[in-house]
A and B are shown apart, each in its own frame.
Chain A
Amino acid sequence: MQLIDIIIAVACSLIVLSVVVIAIINKMKGKTSCGCDCANCSGCKSCKNKTSKQNTANK
């Protein structure tokens, strides 16, 4: 196996892993689920975690 093959294999594996891990971390942090930028979204609160949703509902 050439060096370039190893680089390609490692890079592709890292891409898949990082996309999955970042998605899981974002989900756990209650961050955006659509990939958009919350700062500019008029509906960003609807994607936030349950705590903030409940707070809004209680008010």
Chain B
Amino acid sequence: MKRFALAGNPNCGKTTLFNCLTGSTAHVGNWPGVTVDKREGTYKKCAEPISIIDLPGIYSLSPYTPEEVISRNYILDEKPDCVINIVDATNLERNLYLTTQIMEMDVPMVIALNMMDMVEKQGDKIDEKELERRLGIPVVKISALKGTGLTELMEKAFETSSKERKGKTVLEGCEIYHLISDVRIALDGQNVANPLFHAIKLVENDEIEVQMHSTTIKMVDEFKQSFNNELFGTDFEALVADARYKYISKNYSPLMTKKEKGVKLSKSDKADKVLTNKWAGIPIFIVILFAIFHLTFSEDLFYLGSIFSLPTLEDLGVAENFGTALLACFYDGAIFSPGVILFNLMDLITSTVFGWITAGLESLGAAEWALSLIGDGILGGLGGVLSFVPQIIVLLLFLSILEDTGYMARVAFILDRIFRRFGVSGRAFIPMIMGFGCSIPAMVNTRTLADERERTLTLRTIPFFSCGAKLPILTAVAGAVAHILGAGDGSIISFLMYVVGMAVAIVSIILMRSTTQRGEVSPFIMELPAYHAPSFKGLMIHLWDKTKHYVKKVFTIILASTILVWFLSNFNWSWAMTGDINDSILASLGQFVQPLFTPLGFGSQLNAQGWVFVVAAVTGLIAKEEVIATFGTLAAIFATAAPEIAVEGATDVMTMVLGTGITWPALIAFIIFNMTTIPCFAAVAAAKGETPKGKFKWTLLFWVATSYIVSAISYTAITMFASWSLWSILATLGIIIVSVVAVLLIRNYNKKHPVKGVK
């Protein structure tokens, strides 16, 4: 099967084209760096099936980051039958810079002038026939988004792939061309493939090439000693880049005729004047983030219920029936947010269906243990997790909209000023905010960061940005905190917990940058994509993928785990069923580990059933949804065993939680522990894959230590402040003094032992 590689600048539409050609649903985003690894699909509309390889975006073939190396190596080593170079026609000059480098390889290639719909919309024109003649490479106008010109592109690529092509360069008129020519002849003599490309890269002093051709580099170095350019000195990389751009602007750029626009700003520019404003940018971002969380979690939409003191359904004297239960999904003393409405509807559906299942089993004469296994164990556990699916979808929908409109790239830009002070560039923000969806792709995305230390510390802090799977923990436990405090709505507590997660990430970055990951912050250069309305189809595909993944996990790993949890909480060490859950295997294991969590508030200070927190936290290491699934199963067992302890207006989970005698500061500590501790198994595997060999153990230790210390401090501090006393003032002063001394000592050490450059 023939193989065609899609290569081009970041955010030029490679993955959109890949999806169009192969019918895939690969994730597309309106910011540079979405694709960090190559992926394959098949195009079936040519004379024979063709394998299409989507490569990460690159600005040049001199790579700086791991994902750029992947693209370069693929074109060089895997020798595709044709390279389809996707050029963003709205940025012709910059995109052709990469084209001039791919041209230097002995590989058949076709240029796809993408985003032609945008060019035409702006009233601009490109003479593609003349461009094709001057480049000596077939050029096809396309729009990957609209799906136009794709058949012609593939036909042209198929035709080109059967013809041999020798590399050619635009540097022929350059003052160092004779050196390039000499090196090319030398490499030709050594039977090196793509000699022209390697010769130019050697002259540029490309790190990878220097290592590969240690003998030829001596010849280059000898020449360089006698050479000194007026403008660039002996910086050959800059000299070559300048020569390329000069050639492009002289020969190719005039082929684009721009419509006279005067000084009129585009819509994107106008929006950027406000959204990326030095003073307004960050407050606007905070407001947008708060609005997203409010629309996802709030039980009082726009606080209308509190402002106008709206009556509850009970106040209105509405009769209790299914219609009222349905109405209560939308309103009860306040209008609920879309996230809460969908949560309530899902909860109503699952509880109704599960009720039918249990009733059906009873009518079939199932034994008590079987009813407990299905009703308390499986349905209790799954119900708890499934109810949160719509709420997770709502959160992901808002985050996807931010991503697709192009706002995410702007946020990275505006946060760069702040992040830089803490020791990372704004680019690190993108994987971090991706962590709100799922830690795994976020961790893989860290490979777009050029500096290894920056990569490490970003990867370590990603789990602190609570992923969708942690949302049920936040919402359920925050609800219990609000219940204890009599605060009513737990949405503010949920939002604050997200903020705490981000604060822990920032403090961790500062600490790591001052100690184990010292170094300068790498420069941040990012192309800001034009704003555009998100594609409905794209959003739906993205949400469908996430939902499918989540539901699949619920009905596999979580289903199996709930059965195991039920078994371990109903059997004792004699392998006999126990009537008292506190005598079960699970309880004894939980009670054994429980004292370790005493400084965190959910250890030995709790009553006999306090072990449930430890068990939930440990099962959360498999998947974070497990925490609530375990709570659901255990709460159902407790509720069945002792229905008389039910707290009025509280769910089974809340009744169980409150029944342990836990305090609200300890519940906060429990949330923080789960948010900051080791993420799920899959995320651990992804982190291991992205960490340099032998260093992953430190990352694991970092997560364990951070979660334990931060939770213990939170519990102690909140408990002390809740009961303000002389002791709490002294303790606070003590902590401040110790922190200041530690900071001064670290600063002093860093001044005496400065680090040398960026790795």
* A binding-site residues for B, Cβ under 8 Å: 1-2, 4-5, 8-9, 12, 15-16, 19-20, 22-23, 33-37, 39-47, 53, 56, 59
A1 touches B367 (CB 8 A): yes
What are 24 inter-chain pairs, A to B, with CB distance below 8 A? A4-B361, A4-B364, A4-B365, A5-B370, A8-B366, A12-B378, A16-B564, A33-B685, A34-B685, A35-B553, A35-B556, A37-B549, A40-B27, A41-B26, A42-B26, A42-B34, A42-B444, A43-B37, A43-B443, A45-B37, A46-B686, A59-B73, A59-B77, A59-B78
A19 touches B441 (CB 8 A): no
A16 touches B367 (CB 8 A): no
Q: Looking at the complex, which one of A1, A5, A15, A35 makes contact with B559 (CB distance below 8 Å)?
A: A15
6 cross-chain pairs, A with B, having the tightest CB-CB distances, nearest first: A43-B444, A34-B682, A19-B560, A59-B73, A46-B689, A45-B37
B686 touches A34 (CB 8 A): yes
B37 touches A19 (CB 8 A): no
Assuming the A-B contacts A19-B557, A39-B39, are A8 and B70 also in contact, with contact meaning beta carbons closer than 8 angstroms in the complex?
no
B39 touches A42 (CB 8 A): yes
The answer for the CA separation of A23 and B564 in the assembled complex, in Å, is 16
The size class of the interface chain B forms with chain A is 35 or more
Q: Is B38 an interface residue (CB 8 A)?
A: yes
Q: Looking at the complex, which one of A33, A40, A53 makes contact with B26 (CB distance below 8 Å)?
A: A40
Nearest CB of A to B554, in Å: 11
Chain A, Cβ-Cβ closest to B559: A15
The answer for the CA separation of A19 and B18 in the assembled complex, in Å, is 33
Nearest CB of B to A48, in Å: 9
Assuming the A-B contacts A8-B366, A15-B559, A35-B557, are A43 and B361 also in contact, with contact meaning beta carbons closer than 8 angstroms in the complex?
no
Q: Looking at the complex, which one of A8, A20, A39, A42 makes contact with B441 (CB distance below 8 Å)?
A: A42
Q: Is B552 an interface residue (CB 8 A)?
A: yes
Per DSSP, are chain A's interface residues mostly helix, strand or loop, or mixed? helix
Q: Is B7 an interface residue (CB 8 A)?
A: no
Chain A, Cβ-Cβ closest to B28: A42
Q: Per-residue 0/1 for B78-91: is the Cβ within 8 Å of any A Cβ (1 yes, 0 no)?
A: 10000000000000
Chain A residues with Cβ below 8 Å from B559 are: 15, 19
Nearest CB of B to A44, in Å: 7
Chain B residues with Cβ below 8 Å from A1 are: 367
Nearest CB of A to B358, in Å: 12
The answer for the CA separation of A8 and B556 in the assembled complex, in Å, is 17
The answer for the CA separation of A4 and B103 in the assembled complex, in Å, is 70
Q: Looking at the complex, which one of B34, B37, B443, B690 makes contact with A44 (CB distance below 8 Å)?
A: B37
Assuming the A-B contacts A15-B560, A15-B563, are A33 and B682 also in contact, with contact meaning beta carbons closer than 8 angstroms in the complex?
yes
4 further A-B pairs in the complex, CB-CB below 8 A; given A2-B366, A16-B563, A41-B27:
A20-B560, A33-B681, A34-B686, A42-B26
Q: Looking at the complex, which one of B77, B364, B370, B445 makes contact with A43 (CB distance below 8 Å)?
A: B445
Assuming the A-B contacts A35-B552, A44-B39, are A4 and B444 also in contact, with contact meaning beta carbons closer than 8 angstroms in the complex?
no
Chain B residues with Cβ below 8 Å from A34 are: 440, 682-683, 685-686
Chain B residues with Cβ below 8 Å from A40 are: 24-27, 545
Chain B residues with Cβ below 8 Å from A2 are: 364-367
B563 touches A35 (CB 8 A): no
Chain B, Cβ-Cβ closest to A32: B682
Number of A-B contacts (CB under 8 A): 110
Chain A residues with Cβ below 8 Å from B39 are: 39, 41-42, 44-45
Nearest CB of B to A10, in Å: 11
Assuming the A-B contacts A2-B365, A4-B361, are A42 and B560 also in contact, with contact meaning beta carbons closer than 8 angstroms in the complex?
no
Q: Which of B336-383 contact A (CB under 8 A)?
A: 361, 364-367, 369-370, 373-374, 378
Q: Per-residue 0/1 for B544-572: is the Cβ within 8 Å of any A Cβ (1 yes, 0 no)?
A: 01001100110011011001100000000
Chain A residues with Cβ below 8 Å from B378 are: 12
A42 touches B36 (CB 8 A): yes
The answer for the CA separation of A16 and B559 in the assembled complex, in Å, is 8
The answer for the CA separation of A41 and B545 in the assembled complex, in Å, is 10
The answer for the CA separation of A59 and B552 in the assembled complex, in Å, is 36
Per DSSP, are chain B's interface residues mostly helix, strand or loop, or mixed? helix
Nearest CB of B to A41, in Å: 7
Chain B, Cβ-Cβ closest to A35: B553
Q: Which of B1-51 contact A (CB under 8 A)?
A: 15, 24-27, 34-39, 41
Q: Per-residue 0/1 for B677-689: is the Cβ within 8 Å of any A Cβ (1 yes, 0 no)?
A: 0000111011001
The answer for the CA separation of A23 and B444 in the assembled complex, in Å, is 22
A47 touches B24 (CB 8 A): no
A36 touches B560 (CB 8 A): no
Q: Which of B392-443 contact A (CB under 8 A)?
A: 440-441, 443
B689 touches A8 (CB 8 A): no
Nearest CB of A to B53, in Å: 12
Chain A residues with Cβ below 8 Å from B682 are: 33-35
A16 touches B685 (CB 8 A): no
Chain A, Cβ-Cβ closest to B72: A59
A37 touches B545 (CB 8 A): yes
A42 touches B553 (CB 8 A): no
Chain A, Cβ-Cβ closest to B546: A36
Chain B residues with Cβ below 8 Å from A35 are: 549, 552-553, 556-557, 682
The answer for the CA separation of A5 and B557 in the assembled complex, in Å, is 23
The answer for the CA separation of A1 and B77 in the assembled complex, in Å, is 65
The answer for the CA separation of A16 and B373 in the assembled complex, in Å, is 13
Chain A residues with Cβ below 8 Å from B15 are: 42
Nearest CB of B to A9, in Å: 7
Assuming the A-B contacts A16-B563, A34-B682, are A46 and B690 also in contact, with contact meaning beta carbons closer than 8 angstroms in the complex?
yes
Q: Which of B433-466 contact A (CB under 8 A)?
A: 440-441, 443-445
Q: Per-residue 0/1 for B608-637: is the Cβ within 8 Å of any A Cβ (1 yes, 0 no)?
A: 000000000000000000000000000000
Chain B residues with Cβ below 8 Å from A33 are: 681-682, 685-686
Assuming the A-B contacts A42-B26, A42-B39, are A8 and B563 also in contact, with contact meaning beta carbons closer than 8 angstroms in the complex?
no
Q: Per-residue 0/1 for B660-701: is the Cβ within 8 Å of any A Cβ (1 yes, 0 no)?
A: 000000000000000000000111011001100000000000
Chain A, Cβ-Cβ closest to B378: A12
The answer for the CA separation of A43 and B440 in the assembled complex, in Å, is 8
The answer for the CA separation of A48 and B361 in the assembled complex, in Å, is 43
The answer for the CA separation of A34 and B78 in the assembled complex, in Å, is 28
Assuming the A-B contacts A16-B560, A16-B563, are A45 and B38 also in contact, with contact meaning beta carbons closer than 8 angstroms in the complex?
yes
Chain A, Cβ-Cβ closest to B683: A34
Chain A residues with Cβ below 8 Å from B545 are: 36-37, 40
Chain B residues with Cβ below 8 Å from A22 are: 556
Chain A, Cβ-Cβ closest to B77: A59
B686 touches A47 (CB 8 A): yes
Chain A, Cβ-Cβ closest to B26: A40
Assuming the A-B contacts A42-B39, A59-B77, are A36 and B440 also in contact, with contact meaning beta carbons closer than 8 angstroms in the complex?
yes
A5 touches B440 (CB 8 A): no
B70 touches A42 (CB 8 A): no
Chain A residues with Cβ below 8 Å from B38 are: 45
Nearest CB of A to B370, in Å: 5
The answer for the CA separation of A5 and B560 in the assembled complex, in Å, is 18
Nearest CB of B to A4, in Å: 5
Chain B, Cβ-Cβ closest to A20: B560
Assuming the A-B contacts A1-B367, A34-B685, are A42 and B374 also in contact, with contact meaning beta carbons closer than 8 angstroms in the complex?
no
The answer for the CA separation of A40 and B542 in the assembled complex, in Å, is 10
Chain B residues with Cβ below 8 Å from A23 are: 557
Chain A residues with Cβ below 8 Å from B557 are: 19, 23, 35
Nearest CB of B to A34, in Å: 4
Assuming the A-B contacts A41-B441, A42-B27, A43-B444, are A8 and B685 also in contact, with contact meaning beta carbons closer than 8 angstroms in the complex?
no
Chain B, Cβ-Cβ closest to A12: B563
The answer for the CA separation of A4 and B364 in the assembled complex, in Å, is 7
